[in-house]
Amino acid sequence: MAATPASRDRVVDAARALCIVVVTLWHWTLSVNHRTADGSLAMPNPIHAVPGGWLATWVLQIMPVFFLVGGYANLVGWQRAQARGTTAGQFVRDRLRRLLLPTAVWALVWLAGELIAAALPGLHRWMWEWFPGYLTPLWFLGVYGLLIATVPITASLNARYGARVLVALVLLITLGSVAHRGADLAWAAWVTAALVWLFCHQLGYAWRSWELGRRPLAQRLAVAGAGLAALVGLTVGAGYPLSMVSTTGAAESNIFPTNATIAALAVFQLGLLVLVTPAAERLLRRPAVWKPVVALNVVALTIFLWHMTAYLVVLWAYEGLGGNLPAEPTAGWWAQRWLWLLAPSAVMAVLAVLFARVELAARRPRRGADR
């Protein structure tokens, strides 16, 4: 921590840590997890029951920031790899190893548990049958892995064409949106979803290349303003849902399949990040603030992979002790939020001690080489 180079953008590291915290706490405390009639576990959120709750999702739907940070970090890594003479193939393999080794260990542990449970007497239901929501967050790893594989190409396009790549992606997202919503072409929705995440990742390149956090205030305000204007236009003018997360009772979701509003949200959230950069950089130079950021980043993927396991351990214990899981965000449900923060945190601490070494091992060949 004391050896952190002055050139390192600490706001990027803080944004990554914030993403992990928001995703984890959202799943633990802001999911109305309950049993359905067949004993399955559902996990809707309470946004529909909170007046104006959709507005919070314009900040707390943090997935675009994951890809912004990923784009920034991957560009840093690619630039350093080029300076060392590392081949594109080796760069991609090293990056994917960081992602896939901890994920493989997580999958093997769960598969072993499933096989043991299936071998025991009685009816066995596989995880994806009774709690598909447990696996849903992992879509991020698949999409992000594909984006890593494209870095040598997309980074080269960024270096050669700059903003024109972003403009081209915006045009393609617009065409895909028109084809989906106007011509009712279902396949266009999934093509658009892929383009949106590519846009978010490419926007992370712009964050790095243009040093947006160090631009004059007017330019940083313009980024946030452009994103906000696009969000308002799409939700109020074009009829997209106001909430940036799936909401109970809503006929459409902005996140599944991902649509143009998430691209606009990425611009808006990038604008917020670059707006706070000067003040945040000063704050992050304080050891008391920077040390937790470093600690979270060391185990970020471990927490992402295992936080729902920590939640399930607490849930099984809670039900085993006779606790009931309400299907609606009642007053009693809100009163229990402290339990679903503290108890999974304790279990997660144990899991981090057990599995963080895998994440560290996955990084070891590249330690200190790139971000």
Q: Please list the residues that pair with 42 across neighbouring strands.
A: 34
Q: Residue 132's pLDDT is what? A: 85
Q: Are 344 and 314 in contact (CB under 8 A)?
A: yes
Q: Are 151 and 370 in contact (CB under 8 A)?
A: no
Q: How far is CA 204 from CA 53, 63, 208, 333, 359, in A?
A: 28, 13, 6, 38, 23
**In this structure, what token pair is assigned to residue 296?**
């979270």
Task: Give the integer Cα–Cα distance in Å for 204 and 67.
Answer: 7
Q: Pick from 34, 45, 56, 57: which is nearest to 248 by CA?
A: 45
Q: Are 177 and 259 in contact (CB under 8 A)?
A: yes
Q: Are 40 and 131 in contact (CB under 8 A)?
A: yes
Q: Pick from 97, 101, 119, 71: which is nearest to 269 by CA?
A: 71
Task: Give the integer Cα–Cα distance in Å for 147 and 172.
Answer: 17
Q: Residue 369's pLDDT is what? A: 46
Residues 6+ apart with CB under 8 A from 36: 42
Along the 371 residues of the chain, how does pLDDT read in single tens digits? 555 666 688 999 999 999 999 999 999 999 999 999 888 999 999 998 888 899 999 999 999 999 999 999 999 999 999 999 999 999 999 999 999 999 999 999 999 999 999 998 888 888 888 898 888 778 899 999 999 999 999 999 999 999 999 999 999 999 999 999 989 899 999 999 999 999 999 999 999 999 999 999 999 999 999 999 999 999 999 999 999 998 887 889 999 899 999 999 999 999 999 999 999 999 999 999 999 999 999 999 999 999 999 999 999 999 999 999 999 999 999 999 999 999 999 999 999 999 999 999 998 865 444 44
